[in-house]
Amino acid sequence: MPKATSSDAFLLGLESLMRRSGQGSHIAATVIELAGKPDPYSIRKAAEALCQRHPLLHAHLRRSFFTFIAKWQIGPPGALPVITHETGNLEELVTRILNAGEIDIFRPGPNLQIHVLSQGDNHSIILLWPHALFDAIGIEKLIAELDSLDSIPRQEWGETNPSSGTPAELWKAAYPMIEEMRTFPSASIRSLHQPRRRSGAARFEVLKFSSDSTRIIQDKLAKTSGELLMIPYFAALSARAVAKVINSRNTGPSDMLVSLPVQRIANPSARPLFQNHMAAWSLLLGDQDLNELSTATKALYRSYASFMKRKLPTAMEALIKLNERCPSRFYLFPITHYLKGEICSLFHSHTGKVAAQTEALFTKPILNAYHIPSVSTPPGIGIFFSERNSQLACTISWREGSLDADELITLRQHLFDDLGAKAPTSP
């Protein structure tokens, strides 16, 4: 029975918030567009082998009565759902399965669904997965072996957080991060969350950029921050778009707290496929920093540098470890307390190349691939970037009640302006 990692425990806090406030559960989809229709029989055979290989695909979480740490209870391997759709629209399908609540990490049953959608000449495999069990690197590794027929069981899990010690020792190590959180109330940190509006379904829009548009975007990135500083550039750009929407609500100046997931182990081959292995770094962008993209990028980099120089990553790891026994419903309380009801201003990531190690699935070359995470409110918004075959994809995820139609137009337009290129908006 593998124990939930300390990063899993952090995500279970979000999961608990979503469940208690009628937001479903923390589910994500990964869309893989293929050049040709994959053979459904081959997918089913591969799905059977996948189940045999990875028992965690049929496991559910249960809290230990004594330690209160969640553990995965492995159930008997059954068939993974492979569902083919001969008609329909990708956006409608993904919206429906993201909100259907069919994957429940607290009940026995499969933790992965494989959907196959064929619309004329367009063919996609859509993986539906719970964030409590995978992060983006995990899904990357799963895609790399998705069409394997190997059925020998493997144990691809385990804790990677290096923090250890007694609660008192962990508290001491975590204290710099607690001090950092105590500075948050002096900032006006806001998100798109609107407490008076009922939070609704998970919604998303994928902005897919052509190779030519991607080249234009990369040229602007290179001129603004250097082609290798993608993280502060895209995070600053996303924060500016969210700030634009907040400012349109005339609620006064707002500072942006960007929550960046940081992989603990840079080399994917050195970490387990399952469970979450990242820390969340909270980087603050002041209202004045947001006026220009180049200024915002530099400010975010400075915020990162300050975070590193003050050894806050180590403190954050200790804090995550310290909190792993905390009941999920109380996990986020310190954060929301210091942030006056917020968690951060937006969720953001740039996961780089999707399925970088995989040229084809079920003999069909991969044309494009991107992730569609669902987000909680607060913050009600997530802006996620990835790339495949030199095509940038930007997924805007939000909760109904956090972003209305006019605000989505504002957000999208601001993203286009900062990126320096436009894209068709259908997924």
Partner 1 sequence: METKLLEIIQNEILEFTGSPTPETDLFEAGLDSMAIMQLLLHIEDHFKVVLEPADLSRENFQTTSKIATLITSKS
> Residues interacting with partner 1, by CB under 8 A?
222-232, 262-263, 265-270, 301, 304-305, 308-309, 350, 352
Least distance in Å: CB of 392 to partner 1?
14
Least distance in Å: CB of 228 to partner 1?
5
What's the distance, CA 3 to chain centroid?
21
- Whether the upstream peptide bond of residue 379 has omega within 30° of 0, thus cis, is yes
Least distance in Å: CB of 333 to partner 1?
29
- Strand segments (E) across 99-208: 113-119, 122-130, 202-208
- The answer for residues whose C-beta is within 8 angstroms of residue 375's C-beta and 6 or more apart is 202, 347, 381, 382, 397, 398, 399
Least distance in Å: CB of 237 to partner 1?
13
Q: How far apart are CA 30 and CA 146, in angstroms?
A: 13
Least distance in Å: CB of 231 to partner 1?
4
Q: Pairing mode, if any, of strands 391-399 and 381-388?
A: antiparallel
- The answer for residues whose C-beta is within 8 angstroms of residue 169's C-beta and 6 or more apart is none
Token pair 């995470």 in the structure block, residue: 373
Least distance in Å: CB of 14 to partner 1?
22
- How many other C-beta atoms can be found within 10 angstroms of the C-beta atom of residue 330? 11
Residue 1 or 228 having the CB closest to partner 1:
228
Least distance in Å: CB of 373 to partner 1?
19
DSSP string, 305-367: HHHHHTTHHHHHHHHHHHGGGS-HHHHTHHHHHHTTT-S-SEEEEEEEETTTT-SEETTEEEE
Contact 125/116 with Cβ under 8 angstroms?
Answer: yes
Main-chain phi, psi angles of 11, to 5 degrees: -70, -30
Least distance in Å: CB of 308 to partner 1?
6
Residue 126 or 235 having the CB closest to partner 1:
235
Residue 61 or 278 having the CB closest to partner 1:
278
Residue 184 or 301 having the CB closest to partner 1:
301
Contact 10/317 with Cβ under 8 angstroms?
Answer: no
Q: How far apart are CA 207 and CA 205, in angstroms?
A: 7
126: helix, coil or strand? strand
Residue 10 or 281 having the CB closest to partner 1:
281
Residue 284 or 339 having the CB closest to partner 1:
284
Contact 191/347 with Cβ under 8 angstroms?
Answer: no
Residue 186 or 269 having the CB closest to partner 1:
269
Least distance in Å: CB of 247 to partner 1?
27
Residue 223 or 329 having the CB closest to partner 1:
223
- How many other C-beta atoms can be found within 10 angstroms of the C-beta atom of residue 54? 24
**Beta-carbon-side half-sphere exposure of residue 66 (alpha carbons within 13 Å):** 0
Residue 232 or 427 having the CB closest to partner 1:
232
Residue 265 or 409 having the CB closest to partner 1:
265
Least distance in Å: CB of 219 to partner 1?
12
Least distance in Å: CB of 342 to partner 1?
24
For CA atoms 318, 351, 405, 220, the dihedral sign is positive
Q: How far apart are CA 254 and CA 218, in angstroms?
A: 29
Task: Give the number of residues written for the chain.
Answer: 427
Q: Pairing mode, if any, of strands 256-263 and 346-353?
A: parallel
Residue 177 or 229 having the CB closest to partner 1:
229
